[in-house]
Amino acid sequence: DQQVKQNSPSLSVQEGRISILNCDYTNSMFDYFLWYKKYPAEGPTFLISISSIKDKNEDGRFTVFLNKSAKHLSLHIVPSQPGDSAVYFCAASEVKGGSEKLVFGKGTKLTVNP
Amino acid sequence: DAGVIQSPRHEVTEMGQEVTLRCKPISGHDYLFWYRQTMMRGLELLIYFNNNVPIDDSGMPEDRFSAKMPNASFSTLKIQPSEPRDSAVYFCASSLAGQGAIDTQYFGPGTRLTVL
């Protein structure tokens, strides 16, 4: 059963507009959330993260919002650029019995059209 | 730094054959992770090591899968015997404790495995 869900397999936006990628999780024990970005034929690269004690974290054009009560987070990219076209993975950390893991969603493919 | 190095980048083999995937983590990193990416299941953690010791292998799908880390600069993921359903992209990642093992995982480029 998927604990981290990205329900939109793909998203297409125009250059300069806002991209909003969504992620839902089911495990209330998750306390740290991350977004990774992946280009074809490359490994994922860390983009931005947020702790469960916060509801917003911003880094340049990228902002992550966390709604703990709804078990929902989103990544906003403003303004979107063609170079942002990639697959974005949402991930959550789970600390259980001393084991630290990252649980990933299936990813959302973002296409930014010029 | 060269980053995480994985070899081979592509592997095509026949069902029943043994497959060995290799990973060289970033020098100085003390965590090493093996992931598998498939369309059906996305990116899933198979096993991870801390200071060359396996910490959690609960994601390893079957006994056909095994992983070793004989030293700080090398790890292998072995599948024996391989099956067509093992076809996937396998990623290795490493990180350094103290910087946050969770959010500073550096991924290699992956090995695309095809089992015919």
φ and ψ of A75, to 5 deg = -115, 125
Weakest mean pLDDT among A18-32, A46-60, B1-15, B98-112 = B98-112
pLDDT digits (tens, 9 = 90+) for B69-113: 999 999 999 999 999 999 999 999 998 875 444 557 899 999 999
Q: Name chain B contacts of A44, Cβ cutoff 8 Å.
A: 43, 91, 107
In whole angstroms, what is the distance from residue B11 CA to residue B98 CA? 35
Distance CA A113, CA B5 (A): 32
Give the closest of B44, B45, B91 to A43, CB-based: B91
Q: How far apart are the first and last CA of chain A?
A: 37
| Chain A interface disruption, residue of B26, B41, B91, B102, most A CBs within 10 A | B102
Tokens representing residue A26 in the block: 């089911």
Question: How does strand A45-51 pair with strand B74-79?
Answer: unpaired
pLDDT band at A100 (very low <50, low <70, confident <90, very high): low
In order of A67, A71, B23, B31, B103, the CA distances from B48 in angstroms are: 30, 27, 12, 7, 15
Measure the CA–CA gap between B4 and B25, rounded to whole angstroms: 5
Higher-confidence position of B58 and A12: A12
Tokens standing for residue B90: 């396998």
What does the DSSP assignment read for A46-71?
EEEEEETT-SEEEETTEEEEEETTTT
- 3-state SS track over B79-90: ECCCCHHHCEEE
Neighbour tally for A46: CB within 10 Å? 19
> Which residue among A89, A93, A98 sits closest to B102, beta carbon to beta carbon?
A93
**d(C-alpha A92, C-alpha A77), whole Å:** 20
Answer whether B46's CB lies under 8 Å from B36's CB. Answer: yes
Which of B33, B103, B107 is nearest residue A34 as measured by Cβ atoms?
B103
**C-alpha span between A27 and A77 (Å, rounded):** 26
- 3-state secondary structure at position A83: helix
The secondary element (H helix, E strand) that includes residue B3 is none
Query: What confidence tens digit (pLDDT) does each residue in A34-93 have?
Result: 999 999 989 999 999 998 889 999 999 999 999 999 999 999 999 999 999 999 999 998
Cβ contact B42–A103 (<8 Å): no
